[in-house]
Amino acid sequence: MAESGTGPDGPERFRRQCNVSSKEDLIQWENASVETCTILSWLGYGPEIIQARRDAYREHGKLMTAKTRGLGTFIITGSKGEGLSSCYESDFDLLIIHNRVICLEDDVNSSAFPGEITVLRSLSRRSYHGHCRLLLERRGTTIHRHVHDAFCDDGYGRELLSSDLYVNNFSREYLHKDEVRHERAGPSIPNTVSGHLHSDKVHALPYYCPSILSKWAARPRHWPPPEAVKRVVSLEAVLTPVGFKGSEHQHVEWRVCFNAGEIELISNLNDTQTKLYVLLKMIKNDVLHPRKKEVTSYTLKNIVLWMAENNPQASFHKKSIFQWLHEALDALRVALITLELPYYMIPERNLMATSGLDEEQQRTWISTITDMLNEGPRVILRLPKIRQCIVAHPEPFRWYNGRRIELELLWLMRLNRLVICKDENGEIDYTDAIMQALKRRTNEVLTDVSVRMRMEGSRVINAKAIFYRIMM
């Protein structure tokens, strides 16, 4: 992406683009930016609660990983792992990396890996950028049955690992109590537990790709700092079971992903950059309403990452969030017009190449975004959560938000305690003293909320309904 933002001529360029004709207008934009940042913190997007979510979900992944005794690595990804959504605000995205398999780039020696590990070699020459096929180089002495049953012949007597067969094998696994499994969505297996907890499981394979990561690390950049670049490189990549849409080899192709590295990148965004990403996600959900994932949160995340890399960190501050929102929306509009947006980790891969965007939807969104660009700070009135916060009385809003944050922290602690208290048969010890204390405090907070709701004339159904409503 071309460099954008508020460099030496940034304020003047911004004024021209946004029709900001005077210093007073610019001050108005800056004041609205500061107020919006404050509102977003009240809504649960402040740095403290975001970090608490990240820590809890990172710990959850470690606890789940420990249960596998080295066979798998669990990572909570998506907005949960990034710390940008509360309990029931979005799906629970779970990445399961199977450690008895290793996938290698060309020119990487496989002799260093022990005999129980199955070694697969990536073939990317005839696949779209960021995708590859996997050729069996060495079958390990201990191989997961779902991997074993996913091999197919490539027509030349060699064995390829089929991404379709791989996902289908895991789709037939045993269902837990109160779990409903849904139709496959790309590489993921969606399910719902107890009617309200939605999750997407992706079974992936570790991918050792030093050439891709060294190329990314060598780019000139303002961000992230060198120590963060080293951490991203050390986290490696994974291959997820989904091919390039429309490819003749789609059923045996795999996509290169950097889930752990991208969580690290998001955690290195400053407060303004993080809130910019949150605003863009709100616009996607509340204004654009994509029907078939033509524009996703992932699209918007890549726009933010490019902007962070190409501009000085000091230019991202509370007074500038609307300037950057204008830049980001303009970048999204250009992506919709040109149907091009380079993937941040592998720029040769175009994220818009398989968007499935039809001409009518394209025209509508370009027109909508153009209108938003012309609205200036008033654009946030399109977002229900922020609009409700603006019209609400500050005192009760802050009171309810404080209880919501406490309930979420209790829920996160309980989430991890459930793993600790679960035995090998999946039975949970609910008599555990910490579990009991968490339940007791949760009930106390819910009682406080229900009493205040009654005093204010609200209709209270029950504590469970209050919990789900407040945590959405």
Q: How far apart are CA 99 and CA 355, in angstroms?
A: 32
Q: Please, what's the b/e burial string for 283-297 (b: 16 or more CB within 10 A of its CB; e: otherwise)?
A: bbeeebebeeebbeb
Task: Report pLDDT for 463.
Answer: 78
C-alpha 446/C-alpha 406 separation (Å) is: 10
Between CA 360 and CA 354 the distance in angstroms is 16
Angstrom distance (rounded) from CA 356 to CA 350 = 13
> How does DSSP assign 158-188, residue by residue?
-EEE-HHHHHHHHHTSPPPTTEEE---BTTE
pLDDT at site 388:
87
The CATH number of domain 51-257 is 3.40.109.10: no
Low-confidence ranges of the chain (pLDDT < 70): 1-22, 460-461
Half-sphere exposure for 332 (CA within 13 Å, toward CB)? 31
Euclidean distance between CA atoms 364 and 359, whole angstroms: 9
Which residues, in sequence order, are CB contacts of 183 under 8 Å at separation 6+?
A: 190
Helices 271-283 and 321-338 cross at an angle (nearest 10°) of 50
Tell me: the pLDDT tens digits for 97-134?
Answer: 999 999 999 888 898 899 899 999 999 888 999 999 99
The yes-or-no answer to whether 10-45+269-383 and 51-257 have a common fold is no
- What pLDDT does 146 receive? 93
Contact 81, 54 (CB under 8 A): yes
CA dist 328 and 269 (Å) reads 15
Q: What is the CATH code for 10-45+269-383?
A: 1.10.1410.40
Q: At 152, give phi and psi (nearest 5°).
A: -145, 165
Helices (H), 7-87: 10-18, 23-40, 47-67, 78-81
* Secondary structure of residue 435 in the 3-state scheme: helix
Kindly report, residue by residue over 363-379, the tens digit of the pLDDT. Answer: 999 999 999 999 999 99
Where are the chain's structural domains?
A: 10-45+269-383, 51-257, 392-470
Query: What global pTM score does this model have?
Result: 0.92
